[in-house]
Every structure is written in C-alpha cells, then in structure tokens.
Amino acid sequence: MGLLRTGKRVDGFTSRIMIRNISIDDFLGAEEKMVLADVRSPGEYAHGHVPGAVNLPLFSDEERARVGTTYKQVGREEAILLGFDLTGNKWSGFIRAALEMAPGKRIAVHCWRGGMRSGVMAWALDLYGFEVFVIQGGYKSYRQWARRQFVFSRDFRILGGMTGSGKTRLLATLRAMGEQVLDLEDLAQHQGSSYGTMNKMVQPTQEQFENNLAWQLKDLEAERQVWVEDENMNIGRIIIPRPLWENIQQAPTLNIEVDREDRIAYLVQEYGSLDPDFLTECTKRIHKRLGPLQTTQALAAIREGRIADFIKLVLVYYDKAYHKALAKKDPGGLFTLRLTGGSDAENARLLSDFNQTIATGK
C-alpha cells in the first residue's frame, strides 16, 4: 500500500495529500474495516457491485453515456472537460454524502478500473480532509478476485432429499449449531423449482450473485466441512460457476428420506398462502413435464382451493425428476438417512452424527 503523494508547501500553505493505492486483497483483508464508495453510475452499480459498497455516482447513467461518447468521437481532453461541466455544482453534495457514509473521514473509493472517476473523487475528498484509499484496478479487480474464489477446493457435504423434505430448514439449523453452510438458494433468491420465487423473491443479476457468493466463500474456514443443498447447476435463471459446481459434485451426498405425508403437509403450509394466479402460471410452465391430464387436474385443484391435491399431483413429477438425478450419482458417495418426525434441532443432530460416521467410516 503506497502513498501516492505527500503534503507539500503551495503558495504559503501546506496541502494535505492523503490518497493511497490499495489492492483489493489488502482492502478485503484489512483488520480495520472502512466504507467503500462505488463512484460508478447507478446502472453499473445495480448490475453488480462489491457487497457492502455504497453508491456515490460521479455521473448519472445518461451523463456517463455522454462522456463515453465524447471520449470515443472527439477525444480524451474534451471528455474530461465535459465531465467537469457535468459535475461542476455537485461537489459539495458528493462531500456531504461521503461524510454521511464515513463520518470519521476514512474512506475507500473505486470506479470500473481505478481510473479517472475514482481519481477525481479521491482528489476532492482528500482536499476536504478525508484519508482516501483508491482500489487498484477498481471494480474489475474485485471481479477477478471473485472468480478466484470459485476454483479453491473445499470439503463439501451435499444435503439431498425430495421436495418438501425440509432441507432448507435443516441447513439453517446446522448453521445455528455452528456448522459451515453455503445456502445457494438464499444467494440466488430462488428455491429451485418452477415455483421457486414463491411470488416474492427477486433474483439478483448473475454478476451480483457471483459477487455475493464469493463474499461468503471467503469467510469459510478451509479445514472445515461445508454443508450445501443438492442443486442443479441452474437455480432459476442463476448459474452456479462451473468450477464451484464441479467441486460440489465430487462431494458425498447425504440423502434424507421423509414420509410423503409429512412432505405434503409441509408443502401445503409453504404454498397454501400463495396467490392462486401465481401457482397457476407456474404450473402451466411445466405442463409438458406434468402431462395434459395431471396439468388439468392440478389447475382445477388450485382453482378450487384444494392445495393438498395440487401438491400431490405436482410431487409425482418432482419425485420422478429427483430419483432420476439421484441415479446419476456415484453409489459410493451416496448415503441415505431416514428421518421419522422429530424437531429440526433433533433431525440436524441426527444428520450431523450420521455425517461423522461417514467421515470416520464407523
């Protein structure tokens, strides 16, 4: 981490230059955390940003487009002048916003590649008295760092089980017990089926999913096991990065078996309060896989409020799909545990103990 410039005498007063370059690894590993200001446009930020970063846009989306066009069609110097014209009366607002973010006047900033936008914002904040750290390589360096997190090998344990087995609840309980858990469905904001958004979740962009995923992976202890739910490579419209997906697929699968009636009761509780129009739309999307008769019967059950009957009909398809996927797994890495009632805490302890017998071979 190198000091860019130091204080010097200028026309009878001392200027305070406290702008430092810092790598993304040093920023993420710093013991003393600081606010990170993303000075890219709102649209760039919305598409993907460092988790926890606060948007302090130098330009609006429209202004950024104008500056970019000027740069390409006229030249760098004209683009810089236009940039100053566009931001001329905004600087006090930038500084006030930065003071709200970082009242201690210690802040990190970045743009796309650590270029002019972060440089000029750093200059203005430094002039006001901030201690400023500029991320070398900008947001692009975080994206490169994020991709590196996906190639590290980890000791995963896959939690499998048919729809309605309560896998998500078990993962949450395991986490509360101190186990390491990577909840991909929570990161993807989708439960993996045609009904996966539950009519309330909004999936992030693929880029933001990867950013958030890498952020969680960095905090996992390499020497400890990580529980993850059995997933397809696609969760809704989100795709799990291939290196991570392949690492997970090499892990043992602990397949839990739960009585069908218990699964139906759980799913009725989960889906019973959902908007019938939402259930209808999602069911129509899988009509080819359900078949014409089952689709007609399922839609009628939704319309008439017979949620248990609707669940039973669609479970035929989902159970068949799960058995097909299970058959593709290496039998040597597949272990089945039957759960007969019990609380989530009791079942999580049984699962943890069962995992220990697999790990020790006893």
* All domains of the chain in start order, with CATH: 8-146 (3.40.250.10), 153-360 (3.40.50.300)
How is residue 115 written in tokens? 């270029």
pLDDT for the residue numbered 17: 63
Q: Is the dihedral of CA 69, 71, 75, 81 positive or negative?
A: positive
pLDDT for the residue numbered 114: 86
Find where tokens 């606010």 sit.
Answer: 35
Beta-bridge partner residues of 38: 55, 110
Query: Dihedral, CA atoms, 64, 66, 68, 69, nearest 10 degrees?
Result: 160
pLDDT for the residue numbered 91: 97
Which positions are annotated as active-site residues? 111
Alpha-carbon Rg for the chain in angstroms: 26
pTM exceeds 0.85 for this model: yes
Please state, in angstroms and as integers, the Cα–Cα distance from residue 47 to each residue in 43, 139, 202, following that order. 6, 12, 14
Percent helix / strand / coil, the chain, rounded to 5: 50, 15, 35
Angle in degrees, 0-180, between the axes of helices 292-303 and 307-327, rounded to the nearest 10: 140
pLDDT for the residue numbered 31: 86
pLDDT, one tens digit for every residue, the chain (362 residues): 443 444 443 344 344 568 999 999 999 999 889 999 999 999 999 999 999 999 999 999 999 999 999 999 999 999 999 999 999 999 999 999 999 999 999 999 999 998 899 999 999 999 999 999 999 999 999 999 999 999 999 999 999 999 999 999 999 999 999 999 999 999 999 998 999 999 999 999 999 999 999 999 999 999 999 999 999 999 999 999 999 999 999 999 999 999 999 999 999 999 999 999 999 999 999 999 999 999 999 999 999 999 999 999 999 999 999 999 999 999 999 999 999 888 999 999 999 999 998 876 65
The H-or-E segment that residue 281 falls in is helix 276-285
pLDDT for the residue numbered 362: 54
Residues 19 and 126 sit within 8 Å (Cβ to Cβ): yes
